[in-house]
Structure formats: structure tokens, C-alpha cells
Amino acid sequence: MALRNDRAVQAARDIELTEIEDGYTLVGGPDDSVTEQHDTDRIPEVDVDQEMLSGTGEDPESWLMYGGNYEQHRATTADVITPDNVSDLELEYELSVGTGSSMEGTPIVVPGDPPIMYQTNGPNHMKAIDPREGEVLWSYTYAPPIGVELCCDDNNRGAAVLGDTVYMTTLDSGIVALNRYTGEEEWHTQTADHEVGYSATWAPVIYDGTLYTGSAGGEYGVLGFIAGLDAESGDMQWKCDTLLEDEWVGASREHGCGTSWMTPTIDEDRGVLYSPVANPGPDFDGTVRPGPNFPTCGTLSLDLESGEFNWGFQSSPHDVWDYDAAAPRVLVPDVSVEGESMDLVVGSDKSGWVYMMDADSGKLHERSEEICQHINMWEMIPHISEDERVPFVPGAPGGNDWQPPSYNPATGLVYVIHQNYPQDLYWRYEEYEAGHPYWGGNLDDPASEFPDEWNGAITAFAAVDPATGERVWRDWIESEDDHYMWGGSLSTATGLVFNGTQNGNFVAYDGESGDRLWEYEFDVPISASPMSWYDPGEEKQYVAVQVGGSGWLRQGPRGDTLAVFSMDG
Amino acid sequence: MWEKTMCGENMTHANAKREISGADQTKLAMQLGATEVSDRPVTWSDLAGRIEPDRSPTLEAAGATIRTELAERLDGEVLERERDRLAARIERLPEVRETGVPNEPHGCYEAVADPGWRLYEHLAEGEFFERLDETLPRFTPGHIERTARELVLTTPLSAALDDVGFDESEKTALLIAVANDADRLARWVPSNQIPDGVEFDTETVPPLHRRAMGGALLWIRGLDRHLWQNEVLVTEEVLDAAVAHTKTMLGGLFLSATAACDIATTGRLTDEQVTAAFAAGTAVQIVGQEELLHEVFYVTDETRAPSKLR
């Protein structure tokens, strides 16, 4: 289907991501949001209810939320593709999404005849797709207001669905709800003021009629929050600051950041959510925000109904390294530890380790063996003079940046991506001004000198045993062009793990051994996280991944491909 | 409230005292102008007998201003009471060390710092910290050296530290914290002295002396949670450092409280000594929290306890 006459695609193409002194902004584009309808009659009526959402992790035919299930396992129970036959996996089709911008999203799939895929990419573009045919049924582009400031690209990482409605965040710190049969706007809610630096890039998640979303803008001196909205009306039910009032000195909290810029994890049994919490502000000058700056750079647990604080855990207290916690938390149930069963919240952070926390209390069960290297870590600031540079690993992108881990119930292992590249930070005073960066220092990428201990590999993809923290295997990945590996992984019930590299290789690993069993090569980087579903009408298992360079550093060339692979069942 | 049950299981008591290197001792002596060669270790008492008073009109004028402007904002009764309570809590730090990792995320360390919080809140209510920012000089090498010199020569301040259980080596360590790291302290700038063009929004940056004291108290409060949550990483060395730096920070707070008490009550300190006590108290709290961060909160694979699970 030709998209050249698709007004929504054209509108997205007209929105230009422009680099400015403080990051990026969007220029051009439509005055009003645009929906282009194609063959919308093909979308079957399916009431996506709470039972379907709660069961999607066990349902091979659906993938109804960003993380694959509320626990964010990113695992499919479809079992057609196995370690024995994955070498026969073939490309079904490549669909050009036509927008040529950030490609970090994970599509969702609503089962039916045909199933319907909802796929998003930057800037705030969504499509409904018949994934059997690779045909677009409607497309939509949100019209961002003038003056949106973005630290790190015009990303949109995915959609949420409930009933007849599909949802995505908007770059101006909003949520838009669309009729999922027609692509027409139902409501838009602004969760914070984009003019002071707030934005939104992640996929929201919906539980029991409430849509959960967070906050971005941690380089602009905002105050981080997590919010619950009525999914039907868009009304804000609660909005909870991530920073506790009694954990900050005076007014330093007001620009203390602690944003929460990836999808929360839902614990249905405990009635709580788990969210990563990003860096404190200003990024690199801790003297104006003394104390641990709890609970920044760590994990936060809140009550689902009220937003009330449950517990927090920090992996880099009083951070001056931009070691956000960004990757979604993974809830791993029933981990057997010395004869007892524990539910663990797994956080894979920029600090270069994986943290296994007791879901009830937030107490650390174990920290993993190192995933990336640790060279000169936590040593430089504030103990050197202004002109000195000490290269350190992990740099500001981590460790694990936002890339979602997956948990494979078949292997019992968690799969994580950590960058491994030397950078320099230096310290300086910097003015706070509404809507502008408030860093207190700056970053040199790459480091002025590479440390001798650095192994030359820019990324590590690794398997971790959550029970013990053992790093079971690790695949060091090099990049000729020094691009970061920027997408997350997918696990399957048959013990496979899929991942896309910055070199354009889409890889199927043996989850137990780390052996590469299958690869498919694209000509641009993969910066997105794959997903999978089984279509009983076609008797095929599909695997989908978006292809194209993205990210705030070392992103590599753009692309605009949705690639879908399949295998007959 | 002090309840020992808030603390953890008894563990082997390890030495919470910090080693002072010869290089630090030499640097301290040099900073304070005690340049003659001596075979003896450089200590507080040793320096008090070797260095000469050096009258500082700047410290004197600042002290006079503080006394004049702030005396009425302070409640001597509250300050004395909480200062005495703080002294009692500092003396109980060995019990905190003895009990090891806290049993829960709130407890031992939080209790130690309680009187400190009440002192802090009383000072904050009267905008005491704002006035200090306006009155005291910024940390510069010269100001730091004069502060350290005045501190070591002020018998009432030395005696106050003796009273709360600081021995000679711990007092010397405090002095080193003040005198030996001018560059580090210089990065902590009074909110009203951040230069034009590189200025933070001073409405949201608390005054320097408030950041130092409030930060120290937040770090101590955070210790219960940090040690309890990270028990699998915590070593005896980390616990030693936690107690040692807590003592350092509370020692600094005690110096500040002593000066505030003096302003509000007896007036035994000279104006110069008042300035030195506030500056030294803040400097010690700053250095203490930065050292605590690096030795207790930043736990690497080299400094963590070996895993029992792998």
C-alpha cells in the first residue's frame, strides 16, 4: 500500500527534529493532528478487557502492552520457533513506515481475524496495521506545539490498549487516546507543562481502568512525577511527585528532577507499581542538592490506587554521573532462593550492574556480577580540579540505558544490554532557566583518552540469573562506527532470545548458552525492542522489530522499516 | 527516642577510627604554618602549641555581625538542650557500630541524628542560614587556613569536642577535613555568591550552611535505609566508615551548635572564634558527607562483601 498520499505520514515527515543548544526541538508539521483512514473496516471488533490484559503474557496470540505483560517479561508463549528450527526463520515482509525518524518502539498486537497491530514511532506517529498483509489501515500524527524541548530525539516507544481505545504519550508531556477502529482522537490530556521542559516518550500502561504514565525532562530541572489517569475520560486521578519532601534540603527539591521516563511495571497481587527513577537535577553539580537525593537513580514502588509511596532503592545515590535508572523494572515471580520462594524486582541500571530487590520491601536480594566494565567509576567528581579529565566506564549512557530487559521463564534468566564506552565528565556552574538545561557540568564523548583497561567492545549483551546474580553468559559486541546498541530483547517460551544490534544484525540467541543461532542483516542499526505473536488464522508465529538508528548519542543512520519475520506452525 | 532494638544483630566490633596518613599530617602542619621539623605525630594539641595566633579582622567583623544580627533569632534554651542531647547521642555511636547493620530501614542512625534535626529546624526557622551566607566569607584557601588556625587555638571549642568523645586523633582528623581540602570546599558556594552569568536560581538553592547541615543530616538518616537494603554488599569496613563519618558530621554540627549557643547565651567565644566555629562546622559537615558518599554509598565490586549466593 502506497503511503505517499497518506496525510498523517506526510505530517510526521514534515515535523523536523532540529538540534538546538539545549538538545532538540520540533519544527514544522501540522497545526492540528491528522488521521488518515485506509481500510478501517478490516479491524475486527474485539473488546480488550482487563481479563485479556492480565492474561496477555500467557496468550500466544496477543501482545497487548509494551512489556509483553504487566511484569514486563517481554516473553511470548508462542512456541513455533525453537532453537532447532530458528535457522529457518524467514522475513515475511518489510513495511516502510514512511516517517524516517526515531524508531525505538515495540508494537502491540490485538488478536482477531485479522489480528491488528498498533505501531508507533517518532514523532508521535501511530499506525493500525494488518500484520498478515503488512498493510496500513489507518495512520495518525499528533501535532506537537511549538517549543517542545527534547534532550534525546523525538522518540515514541509504543502504545497501550483498552476496549475500543488505543493510547500513546505525546512529546509535549501528554497522553492521546484514539478510537482504535478509526484512528480518530477521543481525548488528549496534558500531564505537565512542556514549556518548562517536560516531555513524554514511553508507552503508557493500563490496569483496572487507570492509565499510568510518568515524566521526562531530567535535563531541564523539572520535578519528576508518576500519574494515574482515568483511561475513559483522560481525567487525572492522582499525580505523585517521585521526590519525597523530607529527603531534600529546602527548595532544592523543586528542580530535583527524578523523572520516570519508561513504562511502569504493574504488580497485580500487591497492588503496586515499580518504576525506574532517573537522575537528580542538576545532573553534575551535587553541591546544590546535598544528601542522597532519594530516590533518584533507582527504583520506586507506589500504590496503584493512590500513588502513595511504598519503597525506593537507589543504585547511584547523590548521582553526579547521569547514571539514571531508566530501563523498565522486571518483576520475576517465585524465584527459588535457598529453598524459599521470592518475588524479585529486577532493575538493570546505568551503573553497570543488575539489582534484584525483594518485591515486598525493596531490600536488595543480590547485585549481579558486573555486566559492563567498571573503570574509574565513581572516582572523578568532585575530587579533581576543573581542567582534569579522567575517562570512566560506564559512561553516561550506562550500563543499561532505557533498553528493556527480557525475562525468559524457560531459562529462568534475565537478558540485559549494557553499553561499555569511556566518557569524560567535567564540572561547572550553570544557570537554571525555565525550559533550559540545568546540568552543572558537561560530558565529553568519547573520552579524551581511552583507558588501557577498556576492552574495545562498546556493548555487552548478557544473561543474568536473578536468584544468584551470576552472569551466566555475555556477548561482547563491537561497532566499527562506535554506535551504541539501543534496543531491548525478546524472550520465547522455547528458550530463544532475540535482539537487534547497532550493526543491523537481528539475532536469535540460545538463551541458555548465549550461542548465536540465527541472524538477519539490515543495512542500518536496530534501536527498538522486538515482540512476537502467533496467528491461528495463518498458523504462523511472527516476530516484529522496528529498524533504524535512534538515540541521544551515537545513534547511527536513520531507517523507517517495520520488519516482520514468520515461521509456519 | 533511642531504642537499641532498632539496631541489628550484634556483630564483631571493628575499629571505627580512621587512620591518618603521614602525608595528611604534614600537609596540615604546612597549611597552618607549623613548618619546623618534628619527629612527633602532628596532632591537634601539638599544633595548638606550635602555631601562633594570627588576628583576622575579617573573621572578627563577620563574627560581630553574626552576633549582633542573629542573637535575637535564637532560643538559647532550645539550642542548649538539643546540643546537650546531640552530645549524648554522639557518645552512643559505638553502640550503633556494635550492632552492625540496622534491623530495619529506619532506626539507629536516624535516632542518633534526631537532636541535630531539631537544631537544624530551629536555625532554619529564624533564617539563620541565610544570614550566615550573607555574612561569612566564601571558602577560599585563605579563609580556610584562618578558620583552621582559629579553631585549633580556641580552647572552648577543643574542650567541647573532648566533651562529646572526640579523642586526639579524631580531633586531628576534623582539622584535616577543614584545612587540607580547600579545592573541594571551594566548590560549595554560598547561594548568594554564585557569580553572575553562572548563577543558579538562588530561590531554589538553599544557603550553603543549610546545605551542609541539612545534607549531613539527610545522609545520616539515609544510612539506616542504605545499610539495611544493601546488607549483602556491606562489609565491616563499610560499617566502620559509616560510623566514623557520622561522627565527623555530627562533630561539625556540634561545633556549629556550640557557636549558636554561645551567641544566644554566654558569649564566651570571641567574635573571631564564633566565625571560625561556624565555618569549621560547615566545612567538616561538607567533607564528612562527601567522604561518606564515596566510602559507604558507592560500593564497587572491589569493596563489596563477597556474594554468598555464587
A479, A461 in Cβ contact below 8 A? no
Please name the residue that has the C-alpha cell 473488546: A47
Percent of chain A that is helix, strand, coil (3-state, to 5): 5, 40, 55
Residue B39 inside a domain? The answer is: no
- Chain B positions in Cβ-Cβ contact with residue A377 (cut-off 8 Å): 300
CA distances B68 to A149, B72, B157, B265, Å, are 49, 8, 21, 13
pLDDT at position A424, please?
Answer: 86
The pLDDT tens digits for A364-422 are 999 999 999 999 998 866 555 556 678 899 999 999 999 999 999 999 999 999 999 99
User: Å from A44 to nearest chain B CA?
Assistant: 49
Residue B250 inside a domain? The answer is: yes
Phi, psi of B114 (to 5 degrees): -50, -50
Query: Residue B200: closest CA among chain A residues belongs to which residue?
Result: A431
Nearest to A385 by CA among B190, B181, B197, B175: B181
Sign of the alpha-carbon torsion through A416, A422, A427, A428: negative
pLDDT at position B33, please?
Answer: 87
Q: Which three cell numbers stand for residue A176?
A: 492521546
pLDDT at position A505, please?
Answer: 98
Residue B149 inside a domain? The answer is: yes
Three-class SS of B213-224: HHHHHHHHHHHH
Residue type, A524: V
- Chain A positions in Cβ-Cβ contact with residue B229 (cut-off 8 Å): 313, 357, 362-364
- Chain B positions in Cβ-Cβ contact with residue A433 (cut-off 8 Å): 201
Q: Mean per-residue pLDDT for A116-126?
A: 97
Nearest to A427 by CA among B48, B260, B198, B71: B198
Does A290 contact B300 at a Cβ distance shorter than 8 Å?
Answer: no
Residue type, A328: P
Q: Does A1 touch chain B (CB under 8 A)?
A: no
pLDDT at position B56, please?
Answer: 87
Residue A339, Cβ density class (10 Å: 0-12 exposed, 13-18 middle, ≥19 buried): exposed
User: DSSP state, A204?
Assistant: P
Please name the residue that has the C-alpha cell 524479585: A344
Nearest to A159 by CA among A143, A142, A135: A142
Lowest average pLDDT, out of A476-490, B75-89, B154-168, goes to: B154-168
User: Å from A227 to nearest chain B CA?
Assistant: 24
pLDDT at position A290, please?
Answer: 97
Report the C-alpha dihedral over residues A323, A327, A332, A336, rounded to 10 degrees. Answer: -30
CA distances A130 to A65, A76, A117, A161, Å, are 18, 20, 6, 16
The pLDDT tens digits for B46-75 are 999 889 888 889 999 999 999 999 999 999
Residue B278 DSSP SS3:
helix
Q: Mean per-residue pLDDT for B286-300?
A: 95
C-alpha to C-alpha distance for A150 and A217, rounded to whole angstroms: 8
Sign of the alpha-carbon torsion through A434, A435, A437, A439: positive
Please name the residue that has the C-alpha cell 497501550: A160
Q: Mean per-residue pLDDT for B267-289?
A: 94
Out of A318, A427, A469, the one facing B307 most closely (by C-beta) is: A469
Q: Mean per-residue pLDDT for B115-129?
A: 96
The pLDDT tens digits for A69-83 are 999 999 999 999 999
Q: Which helix (H) or strand (E) holds A55?
A: helix A50-55
Does A288 contact B205 at a Cβ distance shorter than 8 Å?
Answer: yes
pLDDT of residue A44 exceeding 50: yes
Does A287 contact B187 at a Cβ distance shorter than 8 Å?
Answer: yes
CATH of the domain at A254: 2.140.10.10
CA distances A45 to A59, A110, A113, A233, A301, Å, are 18, 10, 9, 21, 36
- Chain B positions in Cβ-Cβ contact with residue A382 (cut-off 8 Å): 184, 187, 290
Q: Mean per-residue pLDDT for B177-203?
A: 74
Q: How many CB atoms neighbour CB A7 within 10 A?
A: 13
Residue A251, Cβ density class (10 Å: 0-12 exposed, 13-18 middle, ≥19 buried): middle
* Confidence band, pLDDT 50/70/90 cuts, at residue A283: confident
Does B309 contact A248 at a Cβ distance shorter than 8 Å?
Answer: no
Does A292 contact B222 at a Cβ distance shorter than 8 Å?
Answer: yes
User: Å from A67 to nearest chain B CA?
Assistant: 27
- Chain A positions in Cβ-Cβ contact with residue B211 (cut-off 8 Å): 249-250, 252, 287-288, 290
Residue B243 inside a domain? The answer is: yes
Sign of the alpha-carbon torsion through A122, A125, A126, A129: negative
pLDDT of residue A428 exceeding 70: no
Q: Mean per-residue pLDDT for B90-94?
A: 95
A26, A154 in Cβ contact below 8 A? yes
pLDDT at position A496, please?
Answer: 98
Does B197 contact A367 at a Cβ distance shorter than 8 Å?
Answer: no
Does B219 contact A364 at a Cβ distance shorter than 8 Å?
Answer: no
pLDDT at position A382, please?
Answer: 55
Q: What angle do CA A404, A410, A412 make, to 5 degrees?
A: 65
Between B177 and A426, the higher pLDDT residue: B177
Please name the residue that has the C-alpha cell 557540568: A441
Q: Which three cell numbers stand for residue A227?
A: 500519574
Does B310 contact A470 at a Cβ distance shorter than 8 Å?
Answer: yes
- Chain B positions in Cβ-Cβ contact with residue A374 (cut-off 8 Å): 300-301
Q: What is the DSSP string of A234-284?
A: --EEEEEESS-GGGS-GGGGGG-B--B-SPPEEETTTTEEEEEE--BSSSS
Residue A40 inside a domain? The answer is: no
Q: What is the DSSP string of A466-530?
A: TTT--EEEEEEE--TT-PPP---EEEETTSEEEEE-TTSEEEEEETTT--EEEEEE-SS-B-S--
Residue B254 inside a domain? The answer is: yes
- Chain B positions in Cβ-Cβ contact with residue A357 (cut-off 8 Å): 229
C-alpha to C-alpha distance for A46 and A56, rounded to whole angstroms: 14
The pLDDT tens digits for A189-204 are 999 999 999 999 999 9
Q: Does A309 touch chain B (CB under 8 A)?
A: no
Does B232 contact A367 at a Cβ distance shorter than 8 Å?
Answer: yes
Nearest to A487 by CA among A459, A464, A465, A466: A459
C-alpha to C-alpha distance for A523 and A429, rounded to whole angstroms: 42
pLDDT at position B10, please?
Answer: 42
C-alpha to C-alpha distance for A154 and A16, rounded to whole angstroms: 9
pLDDT of residue A425 exceeding 90: no
Residue A297 inside a domain? The answer is: yes
Report the C-alpha dihedral over residues B285, B288, B293, B299, rounded to 10 degrees. Answer: -160
Q: Does A376 touch chain B (CB under 8 A)?
A: no
Q: How many CB atoms neighbour CB B19 within 10 A?
A: 8
Residue A111 inside a domain? The answer is: yes
Alpha helices in chain B (DSSP H): 22-31, 44-50, 57-70, 76-91, 93-99, 108-125, 128-135, 141-153, 155-163, 168-179, 182-186, 208-229, 236-264, 271-292
C-alpha to C-alpha distance for B153 and B29, rounded to whole angstroms: 14
pLDDT at position B9, please?
Answer: 47
User: Å from A432 to nearest chain B CA?
Assistant: 5
pLDDT of residue A35 exceeding 80: yes
- For chain A, give the percent of residues with pLDDT over 70: 95
- Chain A positions in Cβ-Cβ contact with residue B297 (cut-off 8 Å): 292, 317-318
- Chain A positions in Cβ-Cβ contact with residue B214 (cut-off 8 Å): 249-250, 290-291
Does A432 contact B298 at a Cβ distance shorter than 8 Å?
Answer: no
pLDDT of residue A87 exceeding 50: yes
Does B309 contact A292 at a Cβ distance shorter than 8 Å?
Answer: no
Does B307 contact A337 at a Cβ distance shorter than 8 Å?
Answer: no
pLDDT of residue B14 exceeding 50: no
The pairing of strands A75-76 and A489-492 is parallel
C-alpha to C-alpha distance for B251 and B249, rounded to whole angstroms: 5
pLDDT of residue A99 exceeding 70: yes
Residue type, A513: S
Residue A442 inside a domain? The answer is: no
Q: What is the DSSP string of A422-467?
A: -BEEEE------TTS---SEEEESS-SS--TT--S-SEEEEEE-TT
A294, A314 in Cβ contact below 8 A? yes
Between B114 and B3, the higher pLDDT residue: B114
Does B188 contact A427 at a Cβ distance shorter than 8 Å?
Answer: no
- Chain B positions in Cβ-Cβ contact with residue A363 (cut-off 8 Å): 228-229, 231
* Confidence band, pLDDT 50/70/90 cuts, at residue A433: low
pLDDT at position B198, please?
Answer: 46
pLDDT at position B300, please?
Answer: 97
Q: For chain B, how many structural domains are there in total?
A: 1
Alpha helices in B7-75 (DSSP H): 22-31, 44-50, 57-70
The pLDDT tens digits for A215-233 are 999 888 899 999 999 999 9
Say what the ipTM of the complex is.
Answer: 0.95
User: Å from A69 to nearest chain B CA?
Assistant: 28
Residue A36 inside a domain? The answer is: no
Residue A327 DSSP SS3:
coil
User: For an interface test with B, which of A220, A244, A249 has the most B Cβ atoms less than 10 Å from its Cβ?
Assistant: A249
A87, A565 in Cβ contact below 8 A? no
Residue A96 inside a domain? The answer is: yes
The overall average pLDDT reported for chain A is: 94
Does B211 contact A288 at a Cβ distance shorter than 8 Å?
Answer: yes
A:B CB pairs within 8 Å: 125
User: Å from A287 to nearest chain B CA?
Assistant: 6
The pLDDT tens digits for A509-558 are 999 999 999 999 999 999 999 999 999 999 999 999 999 988 878 788 99
Domain limits for position B143: 64-297
Q: For chain A, how many structural domains are there in total?
A: 1
- Chain B positions in Cβ-Cβ contact with residue A432 (cut-off 8 Å): 200-201, 204
State pTM to two decimals. Answer: 0.95
User: DSSP state, A223?
Assistant: B
Residue B5 inside a domain? The answer is: no
Nearest to A200 by CA among A212, A182, A208: A212
The overall average pLDDT reported for chain B is: 89
